[in-house]
């Protein structure tokens, strides 16, 4: 018993001594250092190969690059203007209990009785202001901006970098490309020269300049790269638009619309137009109209007073995998002709229904919108070569382009259309869909202004309603809607399918005149 207690005492003393030794070693030589705790850690001894100072040549290169960007900004900012717009909007005040008597207001008793005379819904006018950007492209005051910035406004002013405010007039505007040309009465203005947007490369550095989110941020400069080229089928410009966007990650926000995209030579290579965003703010995806397209539209407006486009005279659809197999084509590429317009350039050149067009002037056709845009960019009278497949054989056909028929209904006779139906419509663009929280796949036109005394208004149509169809035919653009109205005969009733919020319903009314 005594011996057992003695052994336990020895073990206890040994364990205590061992613990003391281990604690001393841990304190004296911390784990993982390999050096004394009393010695300061020398970072350079472990990373002797890592540079600790910026090389002089590197610093010089970065400073020269920085100075180049500063110089580029200084040179280009004075050519950019802030575009301010105003329009007078008339809106009907909210309904009241007296709306019950609306159908009887034409009755002399209700019209003249002092109790009912002024109790109906009232119209109020207020000023709606807008803001965008623009770029001066000539010393004598021509300015490029977006069509949607100045569409249907009453007054336009531009603010120069020196804060001088000048009134501007619209020389012409093209909703199909979202380009507008303004003019101010001035001379010796700083202006930006056009660059060749076809020569842009993905990865190339660019600047975006404009007035994002308000006048307080005018002449903001952001920098990024060209992320992609030839973006189309985005439905930014509606079903009848010509899309060929430059994609960039240079920051673009509301208010940048109409401002320039600038290359490293200080040249105009694009007109900033739209963003792709789930939040409403910039998320790294912006779109600009190529400068070559903008320049062609501008020259046509200034010289001819309207936009002149090439015309082939065919209807067509894309070639998908099923069609390619059915037609025994080597690949799903190009477009198939579904109709040839009589006496058109295509008809005269011998193009037939079911011809598959695969190339335009030797370049592959990427999509139907690609073909439409290439034809539209050509001058009438130009001879082009279409490579097509007919009965399994490939052949080239030369076509002399005609002039695209002017859309009289969509331009000069717009007021006539409004007189007939009592309201005006505008394109349902991607920007409007985002603002109004409309699903991206919805197609139609949106009611912009409406006469409260019109038959359409009396039957329930409101400003902001989306028109999906007209007389049971889908509507995807203003031109399609106007064309449908122009086909009405006296006594016809108009049937509209409407989207309002999440609800779809029909409204029928009789036009005011024919």
Q: What is the DSSP letter of 489?
A: P
Q: What's the confidence (pLDDT) of residue 5?
A: 43
Q: Distance (Å, rounded) from C-alpha 448 to C-alpha 456?
A: 13
Q: Are 360 and 374 in contact (CB under 8 A)?
A: yes
Q: Are 151 and 173 in contact (CB under 8 A)?
A: yes
Mean pLDDT by 10 residues, the chain (514 residues): 50 66 62 59 63 80 91 95 86 52 49 52 72 95 94 90 94 91 95 95 95 86 94 79 91 90 96 83 88 94 88 91 88 91 92 93 90 90 94 92 65 60 84 81 88 86 91 85 81 90 88 62
- Whose tokens are 């609306």? That residue is 102
- Whose tokens are 């020259």? That residue is 299
From the candidates 133, 173, 227, 257, give the one annotated as an active-site residue.
257
The matching CATH number, chosen from 2.60.120.10, 1.10.150.80, 2.30.42.10, 3.50.50.60, for 414-509 is 2.30.42.10
Of residues 235, 177, 276, 233, the one with CA closest to residue 370 = 233
Burial 86-121 (b: 16+ CB within 10 A, else e): ebeeeebeeeeeeeeeeeeeeeeebeeeeebeebbe
Q: What's the confidence (pLDDT) of residue 139?
A: 95
CATH number of 75-308: 2.40.10.120
Q: Distance (Å, rounded) from C-alpha 472 to C-alpha 138?
A: 48
From the candidates 84, 133, 147, 148, give the one annotated as an active-site residue.
148
Of residues 276, 264, 258, 191, the one with CA closest to residue 225 = 264
For domain 310-403, give the fold.
Answer: Pdz3 Domain (2.30.42)
Q: In 10 A of CB 45, how many CB atoms?
A: 8
Q: Distance (Å, rounded) from C-alpha 336 to C-alpha 388?
A: 9
| Digit-coded pLDDT (tens) for 43-64 | 665 655 666 677 888 888 889 9
Q: What's the confidence (pLDDT) of residue 466?
A: 93
What value, to the nearest 5°, has the Cα angle with vertex 255 and ends 250 and 257?
Answer: 65
Burial class (CB in 10 A: 0-12, 13-18, 19+), 8: exposed
What value, to the nearest 5°, has the Cα angle with vertex 241 and ends 314 and 411?
Answer: 90
Q: What's the confidence (pLDDT) of residue 449?
A: 82
Q: What is the DSSP letter of 254?
A: T
- Whose tokens are 């400068």? That residue is 291
The CA–CA distances, whole Å, from 442 to 240, 445, 448, 484 equal: 15, 10, 17, 19
- Residue ranges matching CATH 2.40.10.120 in the chain: 75-308
Catalytic annotation on 178?
A: yes
Q: Distance (Å, rounded) from C-alpha 263 to C-alpha 204?
A: 8
- Residue ranges matching CATH 2.30.42.10 in the chain: 310-403, 414-509
From the candidates 178, 249, 451, 465, give the one annotated as an active-site residue.
178
Burial class (CB in 10 A: 0-12, 13-18, 19+), 364: exposed
Q: What's the confidence (pLDDT) of residue 487?
A: 78
């Amino acid at each position: 018993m005594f011996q057992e207690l003695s052994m336990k005492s020895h073990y206890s003393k040994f364990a205590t001594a061992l613990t003391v030794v281990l604690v001393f070693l841990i304190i004296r030589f911390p784990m993982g250092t390999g050096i004394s705790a009393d010695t300061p850690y020398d970072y350079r001894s472990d990373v002797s190969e890592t540079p600790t100072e910026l090389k002089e040549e590197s610093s010089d290169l970065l400073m020269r690059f920085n100075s180049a960007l500063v110089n580029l900004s200084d040179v280009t900012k004075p050519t950019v203007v802030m575009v301010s717009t105003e329009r007078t909007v008339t809106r009907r005040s909210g309904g009241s209990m007296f709306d019950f008597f609306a159908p009887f207001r034409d009755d002399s008793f209700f019209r003249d009785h002092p109790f009912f005379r002024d109790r109906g819904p009232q119209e109020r006018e207020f000023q709606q202001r807008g803001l965008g950007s623009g770029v001066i492209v000539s010393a004598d005051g021509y300015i490029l901006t977006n069509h949607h910035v100045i569409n249907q406004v009453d007054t336009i002013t531009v603010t120069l970098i020196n804060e001088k405010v000048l009134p501007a007039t619209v020389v012409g505007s093209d909703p199909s490309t979202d380009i507008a040309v303004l003019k101010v009465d001035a001379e010796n203005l700083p202006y930006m020269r056009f660059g060749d947007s076809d020569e842009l490369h993905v990865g190339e550095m660019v600047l975006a300049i404009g007035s994002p989110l308000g006048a307080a941020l005018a002449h903001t400069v952001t920098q990024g790269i060209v992320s992609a080229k030839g973006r189309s089928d985005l439905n930014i410009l509606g079903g009848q638009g010509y899309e060929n966007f430059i994609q960039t990650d240079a920051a673009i926000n509301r208010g940048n619309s109409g401002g320039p995209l600038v290359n490293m030579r200080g040249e105009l290579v694009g007109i900033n137009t739209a963003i792709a965003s789930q939040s409403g703010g910039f998320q790294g995806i912006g779109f600009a109209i190529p400068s070559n397209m903008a320049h062609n539209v501008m020259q046509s407006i200034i010289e001819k007073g309207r936009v002149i486009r090439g015309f082939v005279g065919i209807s067509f659809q894309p070639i998908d995998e099923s069609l390619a197999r059915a037609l025994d084509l080597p690949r799903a590429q190009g477009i198939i002709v579904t109709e040839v317009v009589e006496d058109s350039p295509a008809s005269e050149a011998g193009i037939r229904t079911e011809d598959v067009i695969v190339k335009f002037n030797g370049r592959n056709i990427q999509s139907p919108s690609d073909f439409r845009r290439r034809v539209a960019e050509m001058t009438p009278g130009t001879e082009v070569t279409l490579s097509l497949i007919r009965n399994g054989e490939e052949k080239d056909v030369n076509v002399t382009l005609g002039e695209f028929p002017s859309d009289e209904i969509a331009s000069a006779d717009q007021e006539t259309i409004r007189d007939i139906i009592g309201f005006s419509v505008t394109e349902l663009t991607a920007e409007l869909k985002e603002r109004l929280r409309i699903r991206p796949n919805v197609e139609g036109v949106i009611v912009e202004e409406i006469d409260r005394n019109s038959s359409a208004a009396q039957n329930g149509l409101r400003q902001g309603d989306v028109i999906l169809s007209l007389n049971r035919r889908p509507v995807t653009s203003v031109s399609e809607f106007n064309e449908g109205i122009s086909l009405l005969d006296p006594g016809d009733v108009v049937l509209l399918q409407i989207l309002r919020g999440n609800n779809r319903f029909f409204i029928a009314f009789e036009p005011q005149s024919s």
